[in-house]
């Protein structure tokens, strides 16, 4: 469903997460028409769904479930409808998160556990290079760029394997802070970044343009 101006529509999932306004502004600048909403019909009909996330894994999951956002994400992905998760909005796509000894269940779209980074300084805050696959759509023209991270937790392993030759294998991008961790994933309709593209200047805007163009 495109807007009247021919721009793709993006629903920004409204479940109480902070930092939504800068994300909305960046996606609009990238060429989409953005609406902050939790309305089921609006979320399902939009060309893309943006799932932001700041703070703790458990708190994000609790807030998401309170507005049945977990169901909306699952329904969109089951129908092959694009979803973009940012920061904790990426972390919750994994099976679980472990924070300060507490294990919380995630959305289970990908196998794996999000844990605290083994690094001398936390949080990981600032600009870091990424190691993206050569055929990445998300990072087309951006392989030499740096992106802005603010986090202490991440997934350090990727175990999802695709054995069907007709299905494109996930494109996994890595970064490093103390240890190597998953910085972004392109997996069919589900795309996610551990860094904040809306805080990553021209490179982040170009990445969002790549995602919007794919809608």
Mean pLDDT of 6-29: 93
Residue 57 forms part of a structural domain: yes
Residue 38 forms part of a structural domain: yes
Give the chain's domain count. 1
Residue 2 has pLDDT above 80, yes or no: no
Residue 10 has pLDDT above 80, yes or no: yes
Strand-pairing partners, residue 49, are 11, 83
Sheet with 171-177: list strands edge to edge.
33-37, 9-13, 48-51, 83-86, 190-193, 179-187, 171-177
Cα 173 off chain centre by? 12
Which of 117, 118, 116, 147 lies closest to 131, judged by CA? Answer: 147
**What's the CA angle centered on 98, arms 121 and 20, to 5 degrees?**
75
Residue 75 forms part of a structural domain: yes
**What's the CA angle centered on 61, arms 98 and 137, to 5 degrees?**
90
Residue 1 forms part of a structural domain: no
Quote the pTM value.
0.95
Residue 66 forms part of a structural domain: yes
Which of 93, 171, 91 lies closest to 139, judged by CA? Answer: 171
Residue 4 forms part of a structural domain: no
What positions carry a catalytic annotation?
87, 196, 198
pLDDT at 163: 79
Residue 4 has pLDDT above 90, yes or no: no
Residue 196 forms part of a structural domain: yes
- The C-alpha atoms of residue 215 and residue 210 are separated, in whole angstroms, by 9
Residue 2 forms part of a structural domain: no
75's enclosing H/E stretch is helix 69-78
CATH number of the structural domain spanning residue 57: 3.40.50.880
Q: Which domain holds residue 176?
A: 9-214
């Amino acid at each position: 469903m495109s807007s009247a101006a021919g721009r793709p529509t993006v629903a920004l999932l409204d479940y109480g997460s902070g930092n939504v306004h800068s994300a909305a502004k960046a996606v609009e600048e990238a060429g989409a028409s953005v609406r902050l909403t939790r309305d089921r019909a609006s979320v399902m009909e939009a060309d893309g769904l943006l799932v932001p996330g700041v703070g703790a894994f458990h708190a994000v999951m609790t807030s998401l479930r309170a507005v049945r956002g977990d169901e909306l994400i699952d329904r969109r992905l089951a129908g092959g409808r694009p979803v973009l998760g940012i920061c904790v909005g990426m972390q919750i796509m994994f099976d679980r998160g472990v924070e300060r000894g507490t294990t919380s269940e995630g959305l289970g779209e990908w196998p794996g556990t999000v844990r605290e980074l083994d690094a001398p300084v936390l949080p990981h805050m600032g600009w870091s290079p990424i190691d993206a696959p050569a055929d990445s759509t998300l990072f087309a023209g951006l392989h030499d760029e740096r992106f802005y991270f603010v986090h202490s937790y991440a997934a350090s392993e990727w175990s999802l394997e695709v054995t069907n030759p007709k299905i494109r294998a996930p494109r996994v991008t890595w970064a490093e802070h103390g240890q190597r961790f998953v910085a972004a994933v392109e997996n069919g309709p589900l795309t996610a970044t551990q860094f904040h593209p809306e805080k990553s200047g021209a490179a982040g805007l170009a990445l969002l343009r790549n995602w919007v163009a794919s809608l």
